[in-house]
């Protein structure tokens, strides 16, 4: 980073965050892939950077209250075009987090993830700071003294945004902003921002916008005198940036009303879209096509795995939340039965509750599945907490009773000793690599074992003009034998209950 990216050009609409969010639908998502590279770098560091943290020197000097730098967070820009592009809309951010004694590694992992999230959202990360204290300061998150140090750092690095690694109360955010004089947002705002950039389907967009407005509503604020003009300019530079900044005090009431109106409209739209989706799902259910949901932490390789097993051509990206709409693909089991795979939205620690609500629809794929493949990035520094996070969400959508197969993905990157640890974590699991294909056959076998099996034995003679029934038996049931007789096709098969009646008239009496 050589040049400070002072994008002070777009003051006009940045003053009106409400208009911005409302107008977002038309502009989002464009040119997005530009950031994949650097997001990828952050992620790469995340998965391989166990040593990252800090060196011994710092550790010795550490005093109880000191701010700790999280090393290796700052974004490296690739080339000139990227730098230029970023000057248009990118924000320079400093990440902050609070950790308690003993939770440092966890806090650092979380900060690396926050860095990846921020970069995925399009920001340049300048610095990451952790403060040790029992709980975040109720008024300013960081303690007063540290908040002032943060302000100095913001000034010297030319940051225009501070991102806190946990959800801030509106009052905390306000107080901290008043100290550091630049925009302060939290993890939730970043995740919402990414979702809004990635959502593609009409329903997904509506849901994300609703979640954003819900988040924004209690956080509207006017800047009044608390921001210096200079800082105001910096904040203003974040024309299309992350999070949200309040409009002038006098406009707040008006904005609240506009937001409420908009939210009501979105809710109505979403309700109207539901029947179509339900019909689709009901249709699959009626045809008794068993379904497998691929769930897991973001960037675990869910889409890659779906592509590997079905050649679906779903977007794979080393970025967080590449997938926001669920893709469903049909496939055929070894015994000829058909079933579906559904790719789903990734989970993340502290998934904003607004989004759990918003994404209930894609999560319904999970709740309705006959089998869940729980994909875990086996090369991640902390797979255990990813497992736990995902299981929490699975529980939240009422899917806990569904058979779950844990697949440790990226096995091409997992060492023998790590495999032993992972096995210990989840004895009934399978190692797979969407990249090399390792373990995929074994995984499919486990899936097919776990799928509900047709159990009723039938022996039927189907006239030749009923080829449709023969096909039905092959697709959705287990055919044991087929013989071509004079009067038709004699089939012995195991079928699901709903087929028994339809086949009754063709039964061969013994």
Ligand X SMILES: Nc1nc2c(ncn2[C@@H]2O[C@H](COP(=O)(O)OP(=O)(O)OP(=O)(O)O)[C@@H](O)[C@H]2O)c(=O)[nH]1
Q: Mask of contacts with ligand X, 382-411, x by CB under 6 A?
A: ---------------------------xx-
How many of the chain's residues bind ligand X (CB under 6 A)?
23
* Least distance to ligand X, CB of residue 507, Å: 46
Query: Which of ligand X, Mg ion, none interacts with 35 (beta carbon under 5 to 8 A by kind)?
Result: none
**Residues sharing a CB contact under 8 Å with residue 358, sequence separation 6 or more, in sequence order:** 195, 207, 208, 210, 211
151 binds ligand X (CB under 6 A): no
* Least distance to ligand X, CB of residue 434, Å: 4
Kindly list the strands in the beta sheet with 327-332, ordered across the sheet, starting from the edge strand earlier in the chain: 327-332, 338-343, 291-296, 371-377, 404-409, 429-431
* Least distance to ligand X, CB of residue 168, Å: 25
C-alpha 319/C-alpha 116 separation (Å) is 8
| Farthest CA pair distance, the chain | 93
| Beta pairing class for 124-132 and 67-69 | antiparallel
C-alpha 125/C-alpha 163 separation (Å) is 10
Q: How many helices (H) and strands (E) does the chain have?
A: 20, 14
End-to-end CA distance of the chain: 82
C-alpha 194/C-alpha 299 separation (Å) is 14
* Least distance to Mg ion, CB of residue 269, Å: 25
Query: Which of ligand X, Mg ion, none interacts with 433 (beta carbon under 5 to 8 A by kind)?
Result: ligand X
Name the residue whose CB lies closest to ligand X: 346
362 binds ligand X (CB under 6 A): no
* Least distance to ligand X, CB of residue 40, Å: 7
User: Which residue's CB is nearer to Mg ion, number 53 or number 378?
Assistant: 378
Alpha helix positions (H), 251-322: 252-286, 302-310
413 binds ligand X (CB under 6 A): yes
SS3 150: helix
Which range touches ligand X (CB under 6 A), out of 136-144, 311-319, 393-401, 472-480? Answer: 311-319
* Least distance to ligand X, CB of residue 297, Å: 7
C-alpha 162/C-alpha 174 separation (Å) is 12
| Identified binder of ligand X from the candidate list 232, 241, 247, 346, rule CB under 6 A | 346
| Identified binder of ligand X from the candidate list 434, 462, 470, 495, rule CB under 6 A | 434
| Identified binder of ligand X from the candidate list 54, 99, 142, 321, rule CB under 6 A | 321
Residues that bind ligand X (CB under 6 A): 296, 298-304, 316-318, 320-323, 346, 409-410, 412-413, 433-435
């Amino acid at each position: 980073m050589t040049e400070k990216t002072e994008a002070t050009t777009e003051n006009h609409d940045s003053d009106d965050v409400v208009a911005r969010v409302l107008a977002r639908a038309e502009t989002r998502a464009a040119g997005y892939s530009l950031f994949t590279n650097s997001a990828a770098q952050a992620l790469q560091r995340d998965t391989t950077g166990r040593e990252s943290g800090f060196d011994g020197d710092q550790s010795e000097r550490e005093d109880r209250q000191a701010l700790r730098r999280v090393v290796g967070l700052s974004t490296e820009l690739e080339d000139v075009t990227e730098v230029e592009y970023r000057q248009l809309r990118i924000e320079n951010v400093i990440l902050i987090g609070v950790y308690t004694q003993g939770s440092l590694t966890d806090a650092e992992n979380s900060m690396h993830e926050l860095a990846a999230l921020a970069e995925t959202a399009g920001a340049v990360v300048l610095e990451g700071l952790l403060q040790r204290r029992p709980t975040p300061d109720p008024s300013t998150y960081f303690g007063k003294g540290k908040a002032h140090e943060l302000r100095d750092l913001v000034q010297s690095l030319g940051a225009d945004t501070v991102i806190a690694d946990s959800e801030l109360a509106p009052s905390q955010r306000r107080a901290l902003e008043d100290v550091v004089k630049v925009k302060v947002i939290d993890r939730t705002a970043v995740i919402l921002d990414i979702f809004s950039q990635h959502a593609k389907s009409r329903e997904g967009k509506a849901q994300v916008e609703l979640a954003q407005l819900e988040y924004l509503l209690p956080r509207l604020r006017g800047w009044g005198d608390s921001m210096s003009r200079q800082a105001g300019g910096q904040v203003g530079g974040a024309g299309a940036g992350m999070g949200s900044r309040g409009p002038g005090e006098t406009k707040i009431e008006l904005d609240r009303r506009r937001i409420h109106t908009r939210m009501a409209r979105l809710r109505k739209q979403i309700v109207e879209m539901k029947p179509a989706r339900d019909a689709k799902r009901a249709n699959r259910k009626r045809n008794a096509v068993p379904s497998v949901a691929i769930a897991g932490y973001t960037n675990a390789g869910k889409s890659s795995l779906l592509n590997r097993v079905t050649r679906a051509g779903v977007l794979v990206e080393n970025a967080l939340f590449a997938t926001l709409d669920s893709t469903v693909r049909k496939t055929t089991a070894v015994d000829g039965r058909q079933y579906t795979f559904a790719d789903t939205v990734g989970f993340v620690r502290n998934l904003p509750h607004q989004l759990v609500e918003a994404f209930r629809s894609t999560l319904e794929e999970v709740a309705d599945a006959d089998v869940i493949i729980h994909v875990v990035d086996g090369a991640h520094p902390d797979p255990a907490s990813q497992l736990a996070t995902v299981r929490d969400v699975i529980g939240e959508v009422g899917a806990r009773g569904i058979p779950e197969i844990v697949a440790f993905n990226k096995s091409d990157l997992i060492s023998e000793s790590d495999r032993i640890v992972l096995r210990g974590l989840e004895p009934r699991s399978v190692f797979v690599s969407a990249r090399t294909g390792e373990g995929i056959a074994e995984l499919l076998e486990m899936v097919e074992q776990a799928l509900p099996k047709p159990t009723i034995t039938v022996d039927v003679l189907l006239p030749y003009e009923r080829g449709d029934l023969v096909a039905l038996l092959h697709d959705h049931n287990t055919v044991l034998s087929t013989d071509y007789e004079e009067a038709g096709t004699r089939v012995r098969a195991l079928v699901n209950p709903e087929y028994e009646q339809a086949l009754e008239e063709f039964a061969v009496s013994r």
